[in-house]
Amino acid sequence: TGGSLDAKNLKVKLVLLGDSGVGKSCIVLRFVRGQFDPTSKVTVGASFLSQTIALQDSTTVKFEIWDTAGQERYAALAPLYYRGAAVAVIVYDLTSPESFTKAQYWVKELQKHGSPDIVMALVGNKADLLDRREVPAQEGMEYAEKNGMFYIETSAKTADNINQLFEEIAKRLPRPES
């Protein structure tokens, strides 16, 4: 699944899923470029971005990150998009209950059609807007636990937990036998 180089250096396909506007593209740009631009209409789009991280055990993980060009707005994303993905990052906006409902739809979709050994993360983004929170952390956490995912709250705006998100994913990846 997702392609790997060898036991010490993994290469994995990572897809982002979630409602339009929850901050998927901003999470990617924060992680890959260290930037947050609230005004730009970010469309990573057709091509993907990649970023390599080194873990403490001196292994590396190269993420090939697929972001949508906004197709999530119109219809069910083609299974082509997540085919072969080793990782799915499912994002909602913790100020938007609708986006949390949509995230659950994506989880079910991936459970039905994704790779059986896919690593899934549930991300409550916009954690800098705590005074506008509408989805309690407990709800996200419980849903994630029930579905064998890990849960994290992030802010692409402040960079809070962005690197941690990808590090946690890297640690959970199945390792090929060396």
* CB-CB contact of 36 with 162 (8 Å): no
Is residue 125 at the binding interface for ligand GDP, with CB under 6 A as the rule?
yes
Backbone angles phi, psi at 74, to 5 degrees: -100, -45
Span from 3-11, 22-30, 57-65, 76-84 in contact with ligand GDP (CB under 6 A):
22-30
Reported as type and span, the H/E element at residue 102 is: helix 97-113
Structure tokens at 3: 């392609």
Span from 4-12, 80-88, 110-118, 153-161 in contact with ligand GDP (CB under 6 A):
153-161
Interaction partner, residue 156 (Mg ion, ligand GDP, none; CB < 5-8 Å by kind): ligand GDP
21 vs 84 by CB, closer to Mg ion: 21
Among the listed residues 17, 165, 14, the one whose alpha carbon sits nearest the alpha carbon of residue 91: 17
DSSP labels, 27-79: HHHHHHHS---SSS----TTS-EEEEEE-TTS-EEEEEEE--SSGGGTSPPPH
What minimum distance in Å lies between the beta carbon of 173 and ligand GDP?
A: 24
Is residue 173 at the binding interface for ligand GDP, with CB under 6 A as the rule?
no
Is residue 25 at the binding interface for ligand GDP, with CB under 6 A as the rule?
yes
Q: Kindly list the residues in this chain that would bind ligand GDP in the complex (CB under 6 A).
A: 18, 20-26, 38, 42, 125-126, 128-129, 155-157
